[in-house]
Amino acid sequence: MHLGHSLSHGGPEVVGADARRPDGVRRALRIGLGGPVGSGKTATVAALCRLLRDEVSLAVVTNDIYTREDAEFLLREAVLPPERITAVETGACPHTAIRDDISANLEAVEDLEDEVGPLDVILVESGGDNLTATFSKGLVDAQIFVIDVAGGDDIPRKGGPGVTTADLLVVNKTDLAPHVGSDLARMAADARAQRDGLPVVFQSLRSEEGARDVAAWVRERLAVWTA
């Protein structure tokens, strides 16, 4: 799926959406994870790394708002070797770095491929933001939007670009539902109504299944990407 931005002069890659690197090799599949603060994006990334790292070559880019905490959490948890985790600084505006001005993130993914590649999948985690934060198609091939039951069970009903258009909606922390009075059946019905057939996963990282469904979705995406 080359998008036609070919460069006649043969310089380094400049267009993020190009499926091939300058040497002609297919680049890694890039999957964005966005969602509100505290919904469990970093925990989901960590769980995905643990589930997938033995079968695919993985790397992670984090976009923290004002620290390197997400990257440091992943390093501390040792979900991947440190050279496979890069933090991008976003200047107080995480959605700008994943949507309006993706240059720093593109550099991070390209440098990871240069330095630790070949890579199959790069997970690009956004800093916690609001319900309108979505990734540019120039940066990622598919995006996961992570919300949680404790953030209010009306979030799926309210919709917004993340909930409505993300390739996968993850409703996290289902184990908390009885404690915060969230109605999972209602959340599921609202999400179905908003998403026009796009998939939704309900997960609790405290359960045995953990991020298994999301990992399966990533595997499917990778199979399509490499087909």
Partner 1 sequence: MSRAALLVLADGRFPAGGHAHSGGAEAAVRAGRVTGAASLEDFCRGRLHTTGLVAAAVAAAAALGADPGELDAAADARTPSPTLRRAARRLGRQLLRAGRVAWPSAELDALAERFPKGAHQPVVLGVAARAAGLGPADAAYCAAYESVSGPVSATVRLLGLDPFEATAVSARLAPEMDTVVSRAVGTARRVAGEGADALPAASAPLLETGAEAHAGWAVRLFAT
CB atoms within 10 A of CB 48: 25
- In whole angstroms, what is the distance from residue 167 CA to residue 145 CA? 8
CB of 207 to partner 1, least distance (A): 33
- In whole angstroms, what is the distance from residue 73 CA to residue 75 CA? 5
Closer to partner 1 by Cβ: residue 112 or 177:
112
Whether residue 27 contacts residue 21, with contact meaning beta carbons closer than 8 Å, is answered with: yes
CB of 134 to partner 1, least distance (A): 16
CB of 97 to partner 1, least distance (A): 7
Whether residue 126 contacts residue 60, with contact meaning beta carbons closer than 8 Å, is answered with: no
Closer to partner 1 by Cβ: residue 56 or 93:
93
CB of 86 to partner 1, least distance (A): 13
123-150 burial by CB neighbour count: b if 16+ within 10 A, else e?
bbbbbbbebebbbbebbbbbbbbbbbbb
Closer to partner 1 by Cβ: residue 8 or 226:
8
Closer to partner 1 by Cβ: residue 9 or 197:
9
Footprint on this chain of partner 1 (rule: CB under 8 A): 5, 7-12, 14-15, 65-67, 89-93, 96-97, 100-104, 106-107
